[in-house]
Chains A and B, each alone.
Chain A
Amino acid sequence: MIEFSVKMYVYPNGNVGLRDFKSTFEGCEFIIGSTGSGKSTILKMINGLIPHFVGGNLEGHVRVFGQKPSPEIVFFVKQNPEEMITSTEVADEILFPLIQLGVSRSEAKKEAEEVCEELGIAGLLERKTYELSTGELQLVEIASAIVSKAKVLVFDEPFANLSRKNAMRVIRIIKDYPHVVSDHRLEFSKYFERTVNIGLEIEDVEIPEVELGELIYEGEIELREGELIALVGENGAGKTMMLKRMASDMRGQGLDFSIVLQNPSYHLVEDSVGKEVDSAIAKEFGIEKLLSRHPQSLSGGQMKRVAIAKAFKSKILLLDEPTAGQDCNFRKRLIYLLRKHGKSAIIATHDSEVAEHCDRKMEL
């Protein structure tokens, strides 16, 4: 169905994106790999974003149903749903791909409503896209992909911002369509016919025990020195809003804290990673090879890692989905580093493994 015979792909900036990749996908694949291993590059090749849109030099070829990759036959849902928005209204957002195919609005709306019922997001249809949480927006974009009538659906980290319940709902629905999914949440791999591993080796990290110290923040949540608190809840429960409120409160109290939001580019303002993060911390985060790179030239996952490493200069960390876009090794490493450096952190997450390693969970 999808044939890869790629000797090498080099991005326009000279970075090698993929090397020696030969494989055939049948349409129910789950791709895993370490952060920056080339998973997104593979996905972008399936719909022709690489090389037709992005540019660069591709040695080899990719065929989808024997044809050249094209967005007409492959619908690609990106990692960050905010960057997929094409309408201010949810209903228009979902039916956008059908409108592009020349389907009438009323006909397209009927199909969109059916898919939304199946996905359990019919209640979002009358809302504005900019009022939704990242997780809700993710579901809207997935609905849009399903409605699109494309022959293959390609998803880049669709579960990163979804609760387990919503992720399972998505899996059940996309099973009826040929699909390729790349994600770091390995617990979902068993629901796919085949797992393709792009060089991921699972590391064993021993997390040190830490004794909690004195109370250092008293607001919506009480936080002790060295304590890790997981903020969990369904999509749209208000986890990000709560983190922002606490950040504002901490700023008012003059506490030493850093907040890392879901979009890492907010936090990176220097012209090299080396100026953002000191080399010792960079080594602990596994980003020492990136020190000379411009932060905005990194992949989404790498940028997020740099943003979290930068936040380590503060005593208290407020982290919004820190493991979204990160490989499974980084989940444990993050907890290990937080413990090792005695940081106090409030972590908004859908990642059950991260939540399990925290001292306590707070459900919204």
Chain B
Amino acid sequence: MIVESLKEGLRGGEREGRCALLSASLLSVSVYASGMAFEISLTATFVPLLVTKSRSLKLLKAFLPFYILFAVTAFFVGITALKSLLAFLAIISAGSLVFSSQPSEIIGALKFFKFPEKLVSLLQIALSILPVIVSDFENVKNIYCRSYYRLLKAFVSTAILRAVSFSESLYSKNFRYKAAGKTRKPGKADYLLLVVSIFVLIYAMSLEVST
């Protein structure tokens, strides 16, 4: 379930890259700026759910084991752990906004915001490898469904071989740390997302100031 959720969650969407990236950053900063306030964490979780038409829920599902861990901790530690759990959910959910856009638009957005091209190109490669690794995991899981030890061995050795092969391919393709991204004019929904994110951040900061 985790693997399928991750793969589905990583499928690109319709949002404009720059708006998606900015909104994801603003919502994440809001959670931190508000000192993990409940209302901000909940807003930062639900805004992406609305924008991605519940697709971010799939990405959230992929991190289920971590929530269980937080929930168990919360049972013993109390309110602080519960706050951390919600903040964790909010940050994953806000991050999933990045995947509500096409990967090439996110690359375009990073270039637009003058991130170093070397970093952007490596991010592009990492994003492209992820589905291959996920698909390897699915294949290995289907073969060794009854033996966790063998599954792990096969997956790890496959991943190592894949890493070596990918690096050979980058050499063969004359990789010079250049990335190709695209940008387009944002739509009304993209601007609306940005405005909501800015409001959340302002409210989060006002909460922090008032306390």
Contacts and interface: CB of A to CB of B under 8 A. Distances in A.
Does B bind A? yes
Given A86-B124, A92-B104, A269-B157, A71 B180 contact: no
Interface in B6-33: 11-12
B172 A78 contact: yes
Contact of B180 (A77, A83, A99, A269): A99
Nearest to A97: B173
A15 to B, nearest CB: 16
Interface stretch (B56-64, B73-81, B129-137, B192-200): B129-137
Contact of B132 (A47, A85, A93): A85
Nearest to A131: B131
Interface in A46-90: 47, 49, 53-54, 71-72, 75-78, 80, 82-89
Interface stretch (A1-9, A218-226, A257-265, A351-359): A257-265
A49 B172 contact: yes
Given A71-B173, A296-B157, A269 B150 contact: yes
A242 to B, nearest CB: 14
A84 B174 CA distance: 12
Nearest to B172: A76
B52 to A, nearest CB: 17
Interface residues of B, number: 45
A96 B153 CA distance: 33
A71 B162 CA distance: 20
Contacts of A144: 173
A13 interface: no
Contact of B178 (A87, A99, A247, A269): A99
Contact of A269 (B124, B136, B154, B176): B154
B112 interface: no
Contacts of A148: 173-174
A256 to B, nearest CB: 14
B113 interface: no
A84 B104 CA distance: 18
Contacts of A88: 12, 103-104, 127-128, 131
Interface stretch (B84-92, B138-146, B201-209): B138-146
A95 interface: yes
B166 interface: yes
Nearest to B170: A86
Interface stretch (A100-108, A199-207, A341-349): A100-108
A130 interface: yes
B169 A265 contact: no
A73 to B, nearest CB: 9
A308 to B, nearest CB: 14
A84 B127 contact: no
A354 B28 CA distance: 57
A317 to B, nearest CB: 13
Nearest to A84: B169
A345 B145 CA distance: 22
A244 interface: yes
Interface string B82-112: 0000000000000000000011100000000
Contacts of B11: 128
Given A85-B129, A248-B142, A78 B180 contact: no
Interface of B: 11-12, 102-104, 124-125, 127-129, 131-132, 135-136, 139-140, 142-145, 150, 153-154, 157-158, 160-162, 165-176, 178-182
Interface of A: 47, 49, 53-54, 71-72, 75-78, 80, 82-89, 92-93, 95-97, 99-102, 105, 108, 128-130, 144, 148, 244, 247-248, 251, 259, 261, 263, 265-269, 296
23 contacts: A47-B172, A49-B168, A71-B174, A78-B168, A80-B165, A83-B132, A85-B169, A87-B104, A88-B12, A88-B131, A89-B102, A89-B104, A108-B180, A130-B131, A130-B135, A148-B173, A261-B139, A265-B154, A266-B136, A266-B139, A266-B140, A266-B158, A267-B154
What are the nearest 6 A-B pairs in CB distance?
A130-B131, A83-B165, A99-B180, A71-B174, A76-B172, A269-B153
